[in-house]
Amino acid sequence: MPAEKISLDNAKHHKLFYILANVVIYRESDKRCLILKRHEREKVHPGKYCVPGGKLEWTNLPIDNPTRMNGNVLDYENAVEELLTREVKEESGLDLDLSKGIKYINSVAFIRPDGIPAILVKFAAHHKEGKIVLEEGGFTDHAWVNAEEVKEFDLIQGIDQEIAKTIELFKEAKDL
C-alpha cells in the first residue's frame, strides 16, 4: 500500500538530512558563469557569493500526484531538475536550458551552524534566457565571471573550483 501522507513518524532521526542542490549557470556566448551575493541576514554564509540552489521540500512531492507508481512506492522523477529550474527562476530571474543536458559536479555533506545536517549535490547547466532579477531579501548583487575573475570575489569555499569545472565541462562537450 502506498504512503497516504508524508511523515517522519517512522523515520530514524539520526538518518535525516536536508537535501539541497545548486547549479552553476553557464552562459555560452561569453563562457561565463553566474554568481550571486547572499544577503547578510542568511543563516549560512551571509554576504558570500554563491550559485543558485535550494532545499527539496515536502511540497515538491504532492502525495496525490506522483510521476509514477513503482510498486507501492510513490516516485517523483526529475525532482532535482525541477528544484533547480524553480530556484534559478526565483533567485535570479533566469531560465535554464536543460535540453543541453545537466552535468554533475560534486557533492558535499555538512552541518549547518544551527546543527542541521545537509547533503548538497552540485550541478552545471546552460543559461537559456531571461534578465537578472535578484530575489528580494535573498541576494544583493550578482556577476557573470570566468574562472579567473571569480577569484576576486568573497565566495563560499569551492565556488571558484565549481566555476572552473563548469567551464571545462562545457568546453569539452563543445569540442566533441
139-145 vs 32-38, strand pairing mode: antiparallel
Q: Is residue 96 part of a domain?
A: yes
* Total count of domains within the chain: 1
Q: What is the mean pLDDT of the chain?
A: 93
CATH of the domain at 129: 3.90.79.10
Cell of 30: 561569453
Q: What are the pLDDT digits (tens) for 17-40?
A: 999 999 999 999 999 999 999 999
Q: What are the pLDDT digits (tens) for 82-134?
A: 999 999 999 999 999 999 999 999 999 999 888 999 999 999 999 999 899 99
Which residue is it, cell 552553476?
A: 24
Separation CA 150–CA 146 (nearest Å): 6
Q: Is residue 165 part of a domain?
A: yes
Report which DSSP code applies to 30: T
In the prediction, which pLDDT does 114 show?
A: 87
Assessment of whether the complete model's pTM goes beyond 0.85: yes
Q: Is residue 85 part of a domain?
A: yes
Q: Is residue 1 part of a domain?
A: no
Domain that holds residue 39: 20-175
Q: Is residue 3 part of a domain?
A: no
